[in-house]
Chains A and B, each alone.
Chain A
Amino acid sequence: MHAEAVVPHDEHHHHDTDATDVFGFWLYIMTDCILFGSLFATFIVLNSTGMQASGLKSHLNLYDILIESMLLLASNFTFCLAALNLYKQKLLKVQLWLATSFILGASFVVMEVTEFYHLSKEGFRWDLNGQASSFFTLVGTHGLHVTFGLIWILMLIIQIPILKMNKVARRRMTYLGLFWNFLDIVWIFVFTIVYLMGAI
Chain B
Amino acid sequence: MDHHEHEEIHQADYGTGQKKLGIYAFGFVSCILLTLFAFWVVLSLKFSKTETFALIYGAAIIQFFIQLICFLRLNVRTEPGRTNVLTFVFTGVILVTIIIGSLWIMWSLNYYMMN
Contact = CB atoms under 8 A, between A and B. Distances in A.
Interface of A: 11, 15, 18-19, 22-23, 26-27, 30, 33-34, 37-38, 40-42, 44-45, 48-50, 62, 65-66, 69-70, 73-74, 76-77, 80-81, 83-84, 87, 89, 167, 170-171, 174, 177-178, 181-182, 184-185, 188-189, 191-192, 196-197, 199-200
B54 interface: no
Interface in B34-81: 35-36, 38-39, 42-43, 49, 52-53, 56-57, 59-60, 63-64, 67-68, 71-72, 80
Contact of B102 (A45, A81, A191, A192): A45
A76 B71 contact: yes
Contacts of A33: 91, 95
Main secondary structure of the interface of B (DSSP, over half): helix
A185 B32 contact: no
A28 to B, nearest CB: 11
Contacts, number: 136
B4 to A, nearest CB: 10
A23 B57 CA distance: 30
